[in-house]
A and B are shown apart, each in its own frame.
Chain A
Amino acid sequence: MLLSTIVFLPILFSAILILWPKESTLRPLALGLSLVEFLVSLVLIHRFDMTSASLQMVEKYPWIERFGITYFLGVDGISLWLVLLTNFLTAIIVLGSWKSIETRVKGFHVALFVLQTAMLGTFLAMDAVFFYLFWELSLVPMYFMIGIWGGPRRIYATVKFFIYTMLGSVLMLVAIIYMMFLTQEAFGEMSASILDFYRLDIPFVGGQFFSLQTLLFFAFALAFAIKVPVFPFHTWLPDAHVEAPTPGSVILAGVMLKMGTYGFIRWTIPMFPEAAEYWAWLFLLVGAIGIVYGALVAMVQPDIKKLVAYSSVSHMGYVLIGLFAFNQFGLTGGLYQMLNHGISTGALFLMVGMIYERTHSREISKYGGLASVLPLFTIFFFIVTLSSIAVPLTNGFVGEFLILLGTFKAEPAFAYVAVTGVVLGAVYMLWMFKRVFFGEKGELVKDEHHPLLDLSLREIMVMVPLVVMIFWMGIFPNQFLDYSKASVDHLIQDRGNYMLSIQNPKSDKINASIQGENK
């Protein structure tokens, strides 16, 4: 029941919020509820068995039996941390949006909690149709979040976001349905369970685009690539990020982009191993291009938020090449970088939002000399910047290092390109930092009618957990990686014939003995 609780508790919360009569106590209530959800997900870590690569805490009930669609939730080392990340960031966002969301407060929190359910469901659903429900559902609250509380061009941005992402996912739906028929052919019974999808042996013809496995592979990959977003499909992202309200950007960058990379790990790569291997060069290529392109474009942005948005394109490029390096280092690094990016970019968006609340401008040229006015803010911003450019001791370093290591091992040529991204990343972040925080005071900073106030207690409380996580994950990465190790090893070693078993909590020992025999 734990996973169902985690997934559907936020929906219950949003129902409570809808019925809540008093506007004034709404935010504290929402904060309390989001913390409850976070605590529940800590129970998940506690119960998680890190030695096992199989699906744990599985809940599987028949749902639409006619088509073999099941209510199927399960967690393994790959989705575990993403669930935690989601709940962690949601709680932070509730606190972080205290001032930035001024209108329709109730509606905002309702949308946020619905979104949380959709994201958690995406990470935990192990049935293709069930997964697709959550995947598409996540568009709706985000659409409202950008469209209602966003910036001046919000309507354009939100419609573009919606249509772009949906275009990718409908082809995935066709592929899912097709694979359901394949399971019927292969096993005699239709099934949408991912375990049965893994068991399918789909014919692959190398070099031919119009062959079954390749087409299915690309139908899935397109949906995930648009979500990530991978280089040529990234154009919705800057618009959506810039127009979204701060909490929207945080969730979008922090969690929703990971739904794409998670999709690659969970669905595309293990289901279509031959196609994934054959076309890996393509993803390494667009990943590497994304890294350099995102960094170069970020460098010339006059708007801080846009700069952070393009840096996301660059960072997600790292994740992508990590995944398609197909070795332990790359995959571990990719997984870790997903979490890092969620935390550091989330923190950056939050801080950009904080400064925007004070000055109502995000133009870099109007700032300068902020360090002397807002010392505390500067310190936090600097730490987050360091994490974003992957300085050792911060979390970003671990992720990028592992990814580059993996890529060097697998495809050195792409690694050479990717490494330049490290330098470019430092260039755009530090240059921005210099222009905003040092030098002569900009027009907004020296404006005496509006003296700038340093971080309030609430804002410090928002930032401290993020900064703690940056160092914690940077200094003790194994505390996190140990949980995913079994799953990652399993994926890398048995990639060609990937299976997941379901762990039965009552017969752990039996399972272990069976696994022992198999080895």
Chain B
Amino acid sequence: MSIGIGDILLVSPMIMLFLASIIPITIKVLRGNIEQSPSATLIQGLGGLFAAIVLLMVVSGSGATAFANALVFDGVTKWMGFIALLAAAGSLLLMYDNPSTTGDQFSELVFLTLSSAIGMLILVSAVDLLMVFIGLETMSLALYLMIAMSHEQKLSKEAALKYFILGSFASAIFLYGIAFIFGSVGSTYIPVVIQKTSELITSSRIYMFGITMLILGFCFKVSIVPFHAWTPDVYQGAPTPHTAYMSTAVKAVSFAAFLRIIATKSLVGSENLFDLLQWLAVITMIVGNVGAILQNNFKRMLAYSSVAHSGYLLVGVITTGISDDMSFGATGVIFYLAAYTLMTLGAFAVVTLMEKSEETIINVDDLAGYAKKRPLMALCLTLFLLSLAGIPPTVGFFGKFYMFTAAIGEGLIWLAIWGVINSVISVYYYLRPIVVMYMREGGVDEAPHSMNATRTAIIVSAILVAFLGFISGPIFELVERALS
């Protein structure tokens, strides 16, 4: 095996990210362990991310592979990487303004964020199970640290530890699954695994065990019920920008890798696995939505909503898994992830606006009177919430529409009906903040310091959420063409 210049060119986005990530900490060291101004750090970080996006757009999409078929740069890599890096950029803006992340150690934080972004790029491009594992771990390890680094002293530490322990446990299960698959197939290269799936899934218990473990590992990462229990605690305890990062970028790339493994008919051979995933999807939707109804803490509510959205996305993943033409279902999933990223990032960004110090806890009732005080921001949050609920003409509606269309096209009508019924349930809690903002009097307070970076992120995502749906047709076709 030799590494050529072509390989290096293909991974140039990751190299770019790495180089950008070490700039701030190097400067810090050179200055004698004194932080440079956070805005300089932010610009370096954002610059690295955008340069990586440009490189990614250039090098990927062709389906070229690097490092002896370990990484592939096809449509999924291109668009999922794009979503993940944009979400990372948005989260960086939030981190810059948030009291629990900015200031002290901001350069280290940017380093970690970009490092986890490298892990994400590896994860979305990996076609070898071991590479998937490496990507997953690179991403997660940086995240554990990021959460633990919060200036808030209690909940964030608890969250980091919980996430770390449970995450490692899930990684172990995942690796265990890989070992079994390797034992039965003799390779960890995903196309080979898929090729042998149809014969092994009925004949080999070992393979069955391996693939089940693998899927369960993913279920943990994307918080599918009953592996979701960490989600509310971690999302609540982590600094809000990190929560935004986890619920958008991390979820998007985990689903991308999930898609790669499930895609192209690996579910067709096994009725049991297929049934299992269907039930997991339904239960996830129900538990997420019903759980969210009971929450008063805004971040916790969004955490449960994120669980519910994993359920919807799992429907899309299953659709991809059973269809002959994987690009249709996969495009639905990617579009939904893009929509979900925009609206979730926006919603969390509005939460950060109100965090005066790192200790602040935002309850839904605290939003009372927000519409009077900040009509524009309240309108943006309303848009995000309506979009999360899937009310037209927001982008969230189009996301659900495409994904459920794909599901119905594959005959999964019952799953689609569960999905839409759950959207109705979800309306109840998504409307609550709107009720409180617009229909109750109260003295909501925003953080006194300037929040222009966050506001920019909010307004950009709000505009996209409101109007992206109308031009979603061409976008959908573009992505679909890139995938097929």
Contact = CB atoms under 8 A, between A and B. Distances in A.
Contacts, number: 77
Nearest to A144: B438
B405 A64 contact: no
Interface in B120-165: none
Contact of B427 (A132, A144, A166): A166
A233 interface: no
A67 B405 contact: yes
Nearest to A62: B473
B420 A170 contact: yes
Contacts of B59: none
A163 B428 contact: yes
B391 interface: yes
Contacts of B428: 159, 163
A512 interface: no
Contacts of A403: none
23 contacts: A65-B473, A66-B477, A67-B405, A67-B473, A129-B401, A133-B392, A136-B391, A136-B397, A137-B391, A140-B391, A147-B439, A155-B435, A159-B428, A163-B428, A170-B420, A171-B420, A174-B417, A177-B404, A177-B405, A177-B408, A177-B416, A178-B413, A180-B405
The 9 closest A-B pairs by CB, nearest first: A64-B473, A170-B420, A133-B392, A147-B439, A136-B392, A167-B424, A177-B408, A177-B405, A133-B393
Contact of B431 (A64, A148, A162, A167): A162
Given A159-B431, A167-B424, A177-B405, A139 B439 contact: no
A15 B386 CA distance: 20
A34 B472 CA distance: 32
Contacts of A167: 421, 424
A159 B477 contact: no
A148 B427 contact: no
A133 B477 CA distance: 21
Interface string A144-176: 100110000011001100110011001101100
A66 B335 CA distance: 14
Nearest to A64: B473
Nearest to A170: B420
Contacts of A209: none
Interface residues of B, number: 28
Contact of B421 (A140, A155, A170): A170
A64 B423 CA distance: 23
Question: Interface size class for chain A?
Answer: 20 to 34
A471 interface: no
B439 A66 contact: no
Given A136-B392, A163-B428, A64 B413 contact: no
Interface in B405-432: 405, 408-409, 413, 416-417, 420-421, 423-424, 427-428, 431
A65 B438 contact: no
A63 interface: yes
Contacts of B405: 67, 177, 180
B476 interface: yes
Interface in A48-72: 63-67, 69
Nearest to B423: A170
Contacts of B420: 170-171, 173-174
Contacts of A139: 391
A250 to B, nearest CB: 21
B365 to A, nearest CB: 13
Contacts of B97: none
Contacts of A408: none
A438 interface: no
A155 B473 CA distance: 36
Interface of B: 386, 391-393, 397, 401, 404-405, 408-409, 413, 416-417, 420-421, 423-424, 427-428, 431, 435, 438-439, 472-473, 476-477, 480
Contacts of A159: 428, 431, 435
Nearest to A180: B405
Contacts of A65: 473, 477
Nearest to B435: A155
Contacts of B408: 174, 177-178, 181
A202 to B, nearest CB: 15
Interface of B is mostly: helix
A136 B386 CA distance: 11
A154 B439 contact: yes
Given A65-B477, A66-B476, 7 more contacts: A64-B476, A147-B435, A159-B431, A171-B420, A174-B404, A177-B401, A177-B405
Contact of A140 (B386, B401, B404, B473): B386
Nearest to A149: B439
A173 B419 CA distance: 11
Contacts of B435: 147, 155, 158-159
Contacts of B416: 174, 177
Contacts of B431: 143, 159, 162
B393 A69 contact: no
B465 to A, nearest CB: 14
Nearest to B425: A163
Contacts of B421: 167, 170
Given A67-B405, A177-B404, A137 B413 contact: no
Contacts of A133: 392-393, 397
Contacts of B438: 144, 147-148
Contacts of B417: 171, 174
A137 B427 contact: no
Contacts of A163: 424, 427-428
Contacts of B423: 166, 170
A178 B420 CA distance: 14
A178 B397 CA distance: 17
Contacts of B397: 133, 136
B471 to A, nearest CB: 9
B390 to A, nearest CB: 9
Nearest to A150: B439
Contacts of B409: 181
Contacts of A173: 401, 404, 420
A147 B423 CA distance: 21
A403 to B, nearest CB: 33
Nearest to A129: B401
A144 B434 CA distance: 9
A98 B32 CA distance: 68
A63 B401 CA distance: 15
A167 B435 CA distance: 19
B446 to A, nearest CB: 20
A144 B391 CA distance: 14
A417 to B, nearest CB: 33
Interface in A94-143: 129, 132-133, 136-137, 139-140, 143
Nearest to A147: B439
B439 A137 contact: no
**Residue of B386, B409, B420, B438 with most partner-chain A CB within 10 A:** B420
Nearest to B407: A177
Interface string A229-247: 0000000000000000000
A89 B248 CA distance: 45
A163 B422 CA distance: 11
Nearest to B409: A181
A137 B392 contact: yes
B393 A137 contact: yes
A447 B386 CA distance: 47
**B391, B417, B477, most chain A CB atoms within 10 A:** B391
Contacts of B401: 129, 173, 177
B74 to A, nearest CB: 20
Contacts of B392: 132-133, 136-137
Nearest to A63: B473
Nearest to B473: A64
B439 A162 contact: no
B373 to A, nearest CB: 13
A68 B416 CA distance: 20
A139 B427 CA distance: 12
Nearest to B411: A181
Contacts of B386: 140
B434 to A, nearest CB: 8
